[in-house]
Chains A and B, each alone.
Chain A
Amino acid sequence: MKLLFTIALLLVPFASPFHLPPVHGKCPPTTRRMSSPLSSNELIKQQLTQKQKQYEAARKSVTMASNTAALPTLESLKMLPYLCPETGLINPDCYPTSSAIRASVYGIFDASYGLQFIGMSRNIKLSLRMHLGRKPDATYGIVVYHVQKPSRTLLESIKEQWIEEVGTALDEDVAGWESALDVKAVMNEKDRQMMTDAENKVVRSEPSVHSVGVCTAWVCVQRACVYSVCVRTACAFEKSEPMPRTTLQRDRVYTACVVLREHRPTGSHASQTLQSSLANHRTGEELRGGAAD
């Protein structure tokens, strides 16, 4: 028995399938062993993506079929007046009645009942108000369709169907319906001239700068109104840094560089006082001497 056991022990290393590989020997073919699970993983992934695509396509076709079946036509919807004739406000019948409604498609008609614009909105109340402000002469009738699911594809398909149904072209000025009026684009020659004049005002009033204000002027704090004008417009003091009004001391002389433009009306008390103070201004040194005296 003992003998048999020893023989078995001796044979085990050679017979066992779990023997360790030799340290300096050739490595086992790991690539083959690893490649098979990887390939299977990839296969599973490919199958999964295929299945997902099939599922998505099927689902899309179902939703599209249901959407197209339920798409409302312009004829089936009732046209409402944009402004309520009794109250003069935007027709409240256009607004959604329940909180479940998430988005709306609406078509706006002009005075001759021609479709001008088709819009989509999550907040129709605000949108209609903005359209009234942007195009007050083209908002007479409205057709609204509320949607509970805010799907852009659904809303756009409704819009396309309405356009096909009408047949005529909508208002080309889409930007005019959807964004603010750009005044610069629509202003006339006279307005442009006014704008350029205003922009060049500083250059034009160059000669008047000296007469009105850039000089070494002495201004007492007692004349607070004058100071308020100076400090608000442009005032550079001796240390070439703006001095806030609160740090100025009463009855002290400051050498100041004053620029006064038509910040206040020319006939106002402030400008008159400054004009009179500038009329009899003296140089800074004279002033300092005078102040010492």
Chain B
Amino acid sequence: MLTIAQVKNSEGVLQISKFKSEGVMKKIARRFENEKVAILKKRGCNESLRFDSALKATGLLELYVEKQKVDKEVPKEKPKDNKK
């Protein structure tokens, strides 16, 4: 059986506190995001501007960039024999 102190120091509790502060950080970042979006809407911007949610949690405000897919598939077929 774990003691109360052990439980308090366990990873679960730490994760919760981290989760909490991340949530607050996101909330603050979202306020800055809304300011930017309001300016752009006022200008009549129709660009789809999606801010990166994961970055917001770390305290950065940046547009989401879709990662380019890299073709990592290994060819299953045998290579054609050009000699024949």
Residues of A within 8 A of B (CB): 83, 85, 87-90, 126, 129-130, 132-134, 136-137, 179-184, 186-187, 191, 194-195, 197-199, 201-202, 206, 209-210, 214, 216, 233-236, 238, 240, 255, 257, 259, 261, 263, 284
Residues of B within 8 A of A (CB): 1-2, 4, 6-8, 10-14, 16-17, 20-21, 23-25, 27-29, 32, 36, 39-40, 43-47, 49, 51, 55-56, 59-63, 65
For the complex formed, measure the closest distance between the CB of A117 and the CB atoms of chain B, giving whole angstroms: 17
B11: A residues at CB distance < 8 A: 234
B12: A residues at CB distance < 8 A: 233-235, 259
B45: A residues at CB distance < 8 A: 83, 88-89, 132, 136
Interface of chain B, main secondary structure: helix
Can you spell out 14 A-B residue pairs with CB atoms less than 8 angstroms apart?
A: A88-B46, A126-B65, A130-B63, A133-B51, A136-B45, A137-B39, A180-B55, A183-B25, A183-B60, A183-B61, A184-B59, A186-B32, A236-B7, A257-B2
User: Roughly how many angstroms separate A186 CA and B25 CA in the complex, as a whole number?
Assistant: 12
Q: Are A234 and B7 in contact (CB under 8 A)?
A: yes
User: Roughly how many angstroms separate A180 CA and B46 CA in the complex, as a whole number?
Assistant: 21
User: Roughly how many angstroms separate A109 CA and B70 CA in the complex, as a whole number?
Assistant: 36
> A209 is contacted by which of B4, B36, B62 (Cβ under 8 Å)?
B4
Q: Are B1 and A83 in contact (CB under 8 A)?
A: no
User: Roughly how many angstroms separate A182 CA and B25 CA in the complex, as a whole number?
Assistant: 11
Q: Are B24 and A195 in contact (CB under 8 A)?
A: yes
User: Roughly how many angstroms separate A201 CA and B59 CA in the complex, as a whole number?
Assistant: 19
For the complex formed, measure the closest distance between the CB of A148 and the CB atoms of chain B, giving whole angstroms: 23
Given contacts A129-B47, A182-B59, A201-B17, contact A236 B2 (CB under 8 A): yes
Q: Are A88 and B47 in contact (CB under 8 A)?
A: yes
Q: Are A181 and B32 in contact (CB under 8 A)?
A: yes
